[in-house]
Amino acid sequence: MRRIMLTVAYDGSAYHGWQIEPTGITVEECLNRALSGLLKEEIRVSGASRTDAGVHARGNLCVFDTEAPIPPEKIAPALLGRLPDDIVVRSSCEVPADFHPRHCDSVKTYEYTIYRDRLPDPLVRRTSCFCYRPLNVEAMQEAGACLIGEHDFQSFCAAGAQVRTTVRYIKSLTVREEGKFLIIRVEGTGFLYNMVRIIAGTLMQAGLGQISPSYVKTILEKRDRSLAGPTAPPQGLCLAGITLYPEGFPPGFYAERR
């Protein structure tokens, strides 16, 4: 029995998220079906990040166990013809039998993309959130800077989520312009339910002048979801990648806090 890890990219538009659920088709289900067909045994993948309905990924990770003798690196290309064209397994490799990306120190990178124009562009509607009102990028950057470091992010967590602690560490947060696009890039060691989308919604409020950038500090302190901005729509969000640290974070990793 060997354990294989896959790096998976998908357009989440057509899926009810990553994780199997009764109401609609999911990415996990498609992978299980394609892998079971390829390897001629019942395969169940276990993902690193359970992205929500409509959210995309360029580098989600998952693992599964198999007895099939296929060379691990051949699995990714062999899946190309077995998966719908909105899911692509970008690489496959063998990992230790007890390894799981969810139980390993890691940094997840999310990008939230906003398309700024007078009218929407139908060619980017599935991969960005449209905003016709002018956004003050500097205010968004200033607001975002308040979130870097270790904080209690309870205000940035969907109400009702069950977690042990709402303290999380954001390693970096940048807001950059690329033509008509504005991209919020967040790197962190873990994220609460809807956290990146609530951050995006709050930064947009700062960009629209609805809150002052430094008010983000107050939102953090009050630990009250109702003070943060709305949950930005899913199509703007993409899990860009996950960096694994199987031996734990290197010394000084957390020193980058500001």
CB of 84 to a second copy, least distance (A): 9
Q: Is 1 in the site for a second copy (CB under 8 A)?
A: no
**Taking CA 199 as the corner, what is the angle to CA 194 and CA 205, rounded to the nearest 5 degrees?**
130
Q: Is 105 in the site for a second copy (CB under 8 A)?
A: no
Choose one: 79-87, 155-163, 205-213, 221-229; the region binding a second copy (CB under 8 A): 79-87
Q: Which residues contact 65 (CB under 8 A, 6 or more apart)?
A: 1, 2, 3, 4, 97
Q: Which of 83, 100, 89 is nearest to 29 (CA)?
A: 83
Where in 127-186 is the site for a second copy (CB under 8 A)? 127
User: Looking at residue 182, what DSSP letter applies?
Assistant: E
List 56, 108, 168, 171, residue binding a second copy (CB under 8 A): 56
Residue 62 β-bridge partners: 6, 47
d(CA 75, CA 85): 16
Q: Which amino acid is residue 86, in one-letter code? A: D
52 in active site: yes
Q: Is 80 in the site for a second copy (CB under 8 A)?
A: yes
d(CA 209, CA 157): 23
Binders of a second copy: how many residues, by CB under 8 A?
Answer: 22
**CB nearer to a second copy: pick between 7 and 231:** 7
List 88, 104, 145, 158, residue binding a second copy (CB under 8 A): 88
Residues catalogued as catalytic = 52
Q: Which residues bind a second copy (CB under 8 A)?
A: 9-11, 56, 58, 76-77, 80, 85-88, 90, 119-123, 125-127, 238
